[in-house]
Structure 1
Amino acid sequence: MSTDPTGRALSLLSLLQTHRFWPCAELARRLDVTERTVRRDVDRLRGLGYPVGATSGRYGGYRLESGAHLPPLVVDDDEAVALAVGLGCAAVAAVDGMEETSLRALAKVESLLPHRLRRRVAALRTSVTPVPSSTDQDGVDPGSLSALAAACRDHELVRFPYHAGDGRHTRRLVEPHRLVPADHRWYLVAWDRDRDDWRTFRLDRLARPQATGGRFAPREIPRGGAAAFVAQAIGAIPRERVATVVLDAELDDLAEVLRWTDHEVVGTATGAVVVQVRGEDVGRLALTVARLALGAPVRVVGPDEVARAVERLAAHLVPPRRP
């Protein structure tokens, strides 16, 4: 049995912060104390400002509820590292005002980390390099982000003015489903009521989203879910150039390398697959062929200009000198 009231209360708080209901008997077993001691420690947490709710009866227990202010949190080692790394990533997010507040919070977290955890965070930070947002990119209003997140959670219709990429100004009524960060921008995946179809909306192009109070039944997002839907939408650039290549491999072994390539399989044989790949220009097709070569030996069938571009690319790829 723990005899340290402070340490015991912190252990109790750590359990309660999982936001699940804990039967009093289970808490007593986890902490190796009596149920009476659990009740005293709950009262101690309440005295410190933690809103601990209780249910009585034979199967009574406790749950940490939301209160009027944010009390101190108790996290374990892995959670502390996740917080530090997450705050570091948030510092380069495309959300107005997020950089400064994230850095302030990160400084507070890191000042409390023991040396062993600081080393873990430092290792992750030096190994992961986010690409900073461009200077001409508009940030996302945190209020809009929060309002849309709540509407996605509550399945509530939202109306907002939208400035499309072609310059048109429209007012949209949508069923919001998911928010997706991609390429240092935020996108809303929603069912457009007026167009009776799925759409993606850049959050930096909409303003003042207003929940209407109306509810909707969630739909299944097509094309493999929200992330895949956005990836396909933002990658929808006209690719008019086509090249035919032969990959010396079985089709089943090429699933990963073909996954993000705009392609069509036009023929298969034992140990060989004929694929047509599409791109915006000859240079990008050459790069696509180089990427395919990471999965299997590849030969360009045509056109000749793509084959010559691949030869020039290969000539400029100098392997490192071996000692």
Structure 2
Amino acid sequence: MPKTSARLLALLSLLQTRRDWPGALLADRLGISLRTVRRDVDRLRELGYSVAAVKGPDGGYRLSTGTELPPLLFDDEQALALAVALQITATRPDDTLAEPAARALNTISQVMPARLRHRINALQVTAVEPPDTRPSATVDSDTLFTISAAVHAREILRFDYTSGDDNEQATGEPPRRAEPHGVITWAGRWYLIAFDLDQRDWRTFRADRITPRTPTGPRFTRREVPGGDVATYATSVFRGSTDHCGDWPCQGTVILDLDAATAALYTREGLIEDLGDGHCRLTVGSWSWPSLASALAKYDAEIEVVGPPELTDAFTHLGNRFLRTAARFTATHP
């Protein structure tokens, strides 16, 4: 039987790979008894992991969200990807998350095994923003989180808003009231798509000009966004912009198994909509469908094609080509 420490790491790794684990299946995978599984689960709980018991015919366990951040377990690829993402964030100019990202990177580097630490030290990444005539616009992370929370909770958002070249909101002006429907990033800037309750119309607000008021208002029933969804509406609002994805002959929409903030690190083109739960919707264009499909592969995440069918066909076309390439390599390198 493996030592207790190794067994606990193996158990934690399994719990992180799926939502529910029957106790018997865990025992079988780890080569231990059900009694030992129960003891190891209790040890994980003592270490700060929130492991819930799942009721049902088979019984089992689930790694749930706890109130504190316990030690985390990453495989080599996850650790390297996290370090690279933190490097990019830490070196982005005018980013309020740059300093926390640098501290997080230092913390992770200290606990990495030597083999991974050497690889990270050899890979130095610096984010260089393309020339832009627009003034820089940073968004406080607390503001972004407050807005996103109101979107997902469907709660009316009250906020002060500075428009145009104003440096502050006019004295005595009441706060804006809006039903928040989506948070997007467009060409490096964050925006809120909302229904303005005072103007009785849809509006696009720059997040860097928003100062949320607390508490938020009552819950609301989502109304239909013009065009059918946030991405379509925002695309129509930004039509005519030089970086508008609709200027390309081929334009498609996908859902990435990636949060919006991470996806925004890799592109200043197209439209990224935060969907919550670590997912985002990306609408982007290119000069051909195969080039668009290949460009989407750079995100290194699971991809669900929303449309159009031509994009799905392009993924199929490229997938078959890559399979043939791999087959030829295997044939010549047995």
Instruction: Give the letter for the 2:61 counterpart.
Output: Y
1:232 and 1:124 mapped to 2: Cα distance?
40
CA contact (8 A) 1:177 1:190 kept: yes
Per the alignment, residue 220 of structure 2 pairs with 216
- C-alpha RMSD of the superposition: 3.8
Per the alignment, residue 258 of structure 2 pairs with none
Cα deviation 1:100-159 (Å, max 9, x = unaligned) = 110111122234445665687679865x84417989634322221111111112111111
Cα distance, 1:90 vs. partner?
2.7
Q: Secondary structure at the match of 1:214?
A: coil
> Under a length normalisation based on structure 2, what TM-score does the superposition of the two structures give?
0.60
Cα distance, 1:182 vs. partner?
3.0
Correspondence for 1:258 among 249, 273, 281: 249
- Report sequence identity in percent: 43
Cα distance, 1:180 vs. partner?
1.8
In structure 2, relative to structure 1, the CA distance for the partners of 1:106 and 1:16 (3 Å cut) is same
Determine which structure has more spread, i.e. the larger CA radius of gyration.
Answer: 1
CA contact (8 A) 1:186 1:202 kept: yes
1:119 and 1:231 mapped to 2: Cα distance?
43
2:28 and 2:43 mapped to 1: Cα distance?
19
Cα deviation 1:80-114 (Å, max 9, x = unaligned) = 22312222233227553x11110111122234445
2:232 and 2:117 mapped to 1: Cα distance?
35
Alignment of 1:283-302 (within 5 A): none
- Report how many residues are paired: 245
Per the alignment, residue 89 of structure 1 pairs with 88
Correspondence for 2:188 among 165, 168, 184: 184
Cα deviation 1:27-86 (Å, max 9, x = unaligned) = 223323222121111111122222222245643222223334211101122322231222
Per the alignment, residue 51 of structure 2 pairs with 52
Per the alignment, residue 145 of structure 2 pairs with 146
Alignment of 1:1-323 (within 5 A): 2-18=1-17, 20-55=19-54, 58-91=57-90, 92=92, 95-96=95-96, 98-114=97-113, 117=116, 129-131=127-129, 137-165=136-164, 167=166, 171-223=175-227, 225-227=229-231, 229-234=233-238, 236=240, 257-259=248-250
Cα distance, 1:181 vs. partner?
2.6
Instruction: Give the letter for the 2:177 counterpart.
Output: L
2:89 and 2:225 mapped to 1: Cα distance?
27
Q: Secondary structure at the match of 1:165?
A: coil
Cα distance, 1:22 vs. partner?
2.3
Cα distance, 1:6 vs. partner?
0.9
CA contact (8 A) 2:150 2:216 kept: no
Cα deviation 1:235-285 (Å, max 9, x = unaligned) = 5559xxxxxxxxxxxxxxxx994257xxxxxxxxxxxxxxxxxxxxxxxxx
Q: Which runs of 5+ in 2 are unaligned?
A: 252-285, 288-334
